[in-house]
Amino acid sequence: MFKRLKFILFICLFLFGINGAFSQEKVKWGDWQAWGDQNDGTYKNPIIPADYSDLDCIRVGKDYYAVSSTFQYSPGFVILHSQDLVNWSIISHAVNDITKISPEMNWDKMNTYGRGIWAGAIRYHQSKFWIYFGDPDQGYFMTTAPKAEGPWEPVTQVLAAKGWDDGCPFWDNDGQGYFIGTNFADGYKIHLFKMTSDGKKLIKESDKILYQSKGSEANKLLKIKDTYYHFFSEVKDSGRVVMMERSKSIYGPYEGPKQLSYAQKEYNEPNQGGIVQTQNGDWYFLTHHGTGDWSGRNMSLLPVLWIDGWPILGNPDSNQIGSMVWSGKKPVSGKKKIKPQTSDDFNTTKLTQQWEWNYQPRADKWSLTERKGWLRLKAFRPLEENNIVKAGNTITQRSFRTSFNEVIVKLDLQGMTKGQKSGLTHFGSPDYASLGVVYDGVVKKIEYKTKNSVVSGDTILSNNLWLKSIWGLDGISQFYYSTDGSEFIPFGDPYQLMWGSYRGDRIGIYTYNNDSDTGYLDIDYFNYRLEK
């Protein structure tokens, strides 16, 4: 009876603002008119309505760091920074050269759609940041850096094996390092290994299987006081749910597992992320929504309520299982409202952090210095003619799901040669749409292209060309073009942005040449406006 009353008291305190007030409003998935920081001390989920998948999060002092999988995009494994868990900026990537993981991720192979850099974890140990992640075909990798901004060491392979994912390191109070990960190729068995003192190898003879269930993965291992907590997810009849088991010994036996939240398919299954304590003592869960749609797997922040020693995610019910929370008080007040970077005027000598190439780019075929203030993309033959999915050096960034999105790029076409195609694309695999210019050696013409159709348009006489895409919460894009930067002409059918190969839509800029490795495209700016 006493425990029941204690639980009710916890719920009442939680609902009325202690440990982070929140609203239980009902939200239709994807129909969010507001998101992130609301400028009044509160926030609304998703905090980033864009593709930040397979999240993990830590706090170091007053700073928060999150990491997200990037698959075949380069640079790989994006790192974000925040001071309040709500407002995030991109500060670096852990892997500059993804061919060090596999040559199949190079521009001359392009064979890892849906593969590449999967989920991982970030930790802070011995005054350094440590990152571990998996490639489902190559095994586990790690890198370390004194600062999250980098530079990061070249990646080291800690386990060379196929069929593993969702790993996480852990260092105990005595300094011994451990690693937990799932062998999905062997029935989703979760293994615990000791690591060598430098954290660069797993000690295979220390292997112990901790758990196995349908789809058990998304592993995190943490210790609070004298208790070890193993966080993971698994698939039940209702969908993928978050689970946890705990023990006084790292090798067990473990108590539980305890279900921490419901599957909530109506909210695209929030289920993979990191549990983090603020400097104020409150706890939160930074999570992705695991069922992808055209905007990918979006990022949300849920309050955590500890009940009987278990961290319940979101709004707990009488079964002590949590559900989605759509708004609440910001964990840390007074921080400036920011958004991840988008627009770029290309006035630096290094690419800004929002950009990721589709596969490792051909280094000699792009430049920020040959024409100051412009990005130059140099054309070369695609691996498959007229297929942007097999064309190297397409530069991309995430498409947001907000009430209004507008991207405008200004291009200079004077460097194009016969056989070259250049333009703006909504990019995925296997689906895509693009609006650009095709040059046959005599005239340049507007061309709208999707995976299954091509529509030719007007001849372009000017070297200056502006391309635009507009879309909203429904993800239906309309392309436009202009030869003066002010009057825009719609062209091509509206295109439904797509989910594919575990990724949401990307907005990108491309150029390739079906005939030869010649020609170039200059880009003056890329302007991205969110909301109207």
CA distances from 376 to 12, 164, 466, 498 (A): 59, 39, 16, 28
Distance (Å, rounded) from C-alpha 345 to C-alpha 359?
23
Three-state secondary structure call for residue 384: coil
Sheet holding 164-171, edge to edge: 164-171, 177-183, 189-195, 202-212
Amino acid (1-letter code) at residue 50: A
Token reading at 446: 């507007």
Of the candidates 188, 201, 199, the one whose C-alpha atom is nearest the C-alpha of residue 234 is 188
Instruction: Name residues whose C-beta falls within 8 Å of residue 33's C-beta, 6 or more positions apart in sequence.
Output: 403
Q: Is 363 helix (H, G, I), strand (E, B) or coil?
A: helix
Distance of alpha carbon 443 from the chain centroid: 40
| Identity of residue 341 | Q
Under 8 Å between Cβ of 84 and 280: no
Catalytic residues: 54, 217
Residue 209 CA, chain-centre distance (Å), reads 29
Backbone angles phi, psi at 253, to 5 degrees: -70, 150
Residue 502, amino acid: Y
To the nearest 5 percent, what fractions of the chain are helix, strand and coil?
5, 50, 45
Show the tokens assigned to 235. 């698939």
Nearest to 183, CA basis, from 200, 170, 196, 167: 167
- Quote the distance between the C-alpha of residue 49 and its chain's center: 11
Instruction: Please tell me the distance from the alpha carbon of residue 143 to that of residue 164, in angstroms, as a whole number.
Output: 18
Contact 478, 424 (CB under 8 A): no
In 10 A of CB 442, how many CB atoms?
Answer: 8
Q: Burial, 452: exposed, middle or buried (Cβ in 10 Å; 0-12, 13-18, 19+)?
A: exposed
395 neighbors 509 (Cβ within 8 angstroms):
yes
Do residues 117 and 123 make contact, with C-beta atoms less than 8 angstroms apart?
A: no
Tokens 């209004």 identify what position?
A: 404
